[in-house]
Structure 1
Amino acid sequence: MNILAGVLLIIIILLILYIVLLRYQFKSINRQLYRRLTKHTRQPVSVEFINHQLDELVININNCLKAEENLRLTCIREEKKFKELIADISHDLRTPLTAIKGYLQMLDNSELTKEQQMKLDVAAKYTRELEQLIAHFFEYSYLITTETELKPEKINLTNLVTECLAEEIPSLEEQNLPLCFDEPKTIFVLGDRESILRIIQNLIRNCKQHAREGIDVKLFTENEQAVLTFQNFVSENSELDAEKIFDRFYTGDKARSSSTGLGLSIVKILTEQMGGSVSAALEKGVLRLQVKFPLFCEEL
């Protein structure tokens, strides 16, 4: 009996030791995985304790990590190719457009019949739309291929929004789009003036393209941020998905061939570069676009 008890005791001690070693090894694997996540190392996971099942587990973990790394590198290469493609397209389109505009100007200075002038005006209208699309392509390709150097400064956002809206009033009146904007108290933000100006202009341009029954603009502060919202009824032909509206090339309006969806993508890129955020919501035919900027703090 004493021998049997001794054997059982030894077996129990060995099992406890085995379990302790397994627990130690699992902790080691967790530490290695955590290090890969936090320090972005590429070192494969290793084990010190010899166990067939544990070895297979580690091999599969390393295979998954390698596959994920290969996929990440592939995505980076594809993204780089896409950026280069956009940049090439935007540059290549400018040369023939310049020639088209030149010939249209020559025709406009010549003697034309009323019908010919009407056709020329239509051609000029679509040329201007094409020029705007190419400008969006060029701006987008520049933003995604170049590390833009921002110049953060104290900016009177209230004045900037008011000035941009005032410039667009004649154009909005031509489209029968009433503008509602109650100028708030002066709000200062910290950001790049040129970037904020382009954000506001793109938001206005988006409303002019898709709004109906007017535009409602609000500017206020919330949680130490300046919040700028553009709200409008959208066209009945729109099939918008608010969660995708800031994605590149997304457009929910199938009836408009002149919309690339790049304008709001540019808004998102510029806003996030300055530490802000964007969001969109669609409820009962009303689209609300919201952009948040960091407030300017005097102690900065």
Structure 2
Amino acid sequence: MNIPVIVLTAIIVLLILYIYLLKRQFKNINRQLDKRLNKHTRQPVSVEFINRQLNQLVININNCLKAEENLRLTCIRDEKKFKELIANISHDLRTPLTAIKGYLQMLDNGELSCEQQMKLDVAVKYTRELEQLISHFFEYSCLISAEDELKLEKINLTNLMTECLAEAVPSFEEQHLILDFIEPKAIFVLGDKESLLRIIQNLIRNCRQHARDRVEVQLLEENEQAVMSFCNYMEKDSDLDPGRMFERFYTGDKARVSQSGLGLAIVKILAEQMGGGAAAALEEVRLEIRVMLPLFRDEG
């Protein structure tokens, strides 16, 4: 065998070995990235094979991972500060609100002219709205910072919904709203009773605030889930975006400064904590809000 052939053979062998080592390093890098992704480790990516381009690639990967980790930690800190801010605001506002309500009650007990009484009634109305706003702030701050597990048990959702709707009938009548609810068969869910009450009450409150003419309520079983459906009719010029309805502070109308936009956000959080979810759909002027919950199944 002549020398050129030997040299060429050696070069080919070295190239094959070089390519093999490169592929082995890429495989090792992928394994390390997969480990960081699935096992949530913070170990930087390392490389054993000496290659300038490959080493620079690993350096850039580690820089990106470090930047992403710093961003994640910043978001966590900002979210924690936001939660503390909401809790502090809700607590701080309750004291002056209590004083305002006391003075308004004293005025109401005194002798007032018709004009003064009308102004007092307006003040009382907005004080109640402020109280509701603060209550939502407090409830939301408690939910997003809660660490206690819910007490999940067998709940007769049919009875619970019927009781809540019966209590709400007078307020619907005051607003000239027709409540359409046909009591279904008994549907049992696995949930926390206090959370279910808050969900139903918030859905009823949302309908009272935004409904026009009629409110349609259904309770049914779909896809192995219990579904609470609340339908109401909106104004034709409504700017509502159903895809954003469960975002905190979203009201769908910039002019509605008296509403917090937290009611439906609370509904979704509570439903998800019990293993369910929430969704909204708008067809022309008909808005439907659906809350899905896991059905209770007897193990026997």
TM-score, structure 2 length as denominator?
0.97
Q: Which residue of 2 aligns with 1:289?
A: 289
**Pairs within 5 Å for 1:242-281:** 242-281=242-281
Does the residue aligned with 2:153 lie in a helix, a strand or coil? strand
Q: For 1:64-90, what per-residue CA distance to the aligned partner results, in whole angstroms no more than 9, with x for missing partners?
A: 000000000000111011011100100
Q: Which residue of 2 aligns with 1:219?
A: 219
Q: Which residue of 2 aligns with 1:168?
A: 168
Deviation of 1:170 (Å): 1.1
Q: Which residue of 2 aligns with 1:135?
A: 135
CA contact under 8 A between 1:237 and 1:253: conserved in structure 2? no
CA contact under 8 A between 1:237 and 1:255: conserved in structure 2? no
Q: Which residue of 2 aligns with 1:44?
A: 44
Alpha-carbon separation, structure 2, partners of 1:296 and 1:190: 5
Deviation of 1:211 (Å): 1.3
**Residue identity matched to 2:123:** A
Does the residue aligned with 1:212 lie in a helix, a strand or coil? coil
Alpha-carbon separation, structure 2, partners of 1:256 and 1:236: 17
Long gaps (5+) in structure 1: none
Deviation of 1:237 (Å): 4.8
Identity of aligned residues (%): 73
**Pairs within 5 Å for 1:78-89:** 78-89=78-89
**Pairs within 5 Å for 1:1-300:** 2-299=2-299
Alpha-carbon separation, structure 2, partners of 1:255 and 1:217: 28
CA contact under 8 A between 1:237 and 1:254: conserved in structure 2? no
CA contact under 8 A between 1:211 and 1:232: conserved in structure 2? yes
Alpha-carbon separation, structure 1, partners of 2:173 and 2:266: 26
**Residue identity matched to 2:287:** L
Deviation of 1:2 (Å): 2.4
CA contact under 8 A between 1:229 and 1:288: conserved in structure 2? yes
Alpha-carbon separation, structure 2, partners of 1:55 and 1:157: 61
Q: For 1:165-217, what per-residue CA distance to the aligned partner results, in whole angstroms no more than 9, with x for missing partners?
A: 11111111111211111211110000100001000100111111111121111
**Residue identity matched to 1:184:** P
Long gaps (5+) in structure 2: none
Deviation of 1:17 (Å): 0.9
Alpha-carbon separation, structure 2, partners of 1:228 and 1:164: 13
Alpha-carbon separation, structure 1, partners of 2:224 and 2:194: 22
- Count of paired positions: 300
Alpha-carbon separation, structure 2, partners of 1:239 and 1:9: 74
Deviation of 1:148 (Å): 3.4
Q: CA RMSD in A?
A: 1.2
Moved runs in structure 1, 4+ residues, more than 4 A? none
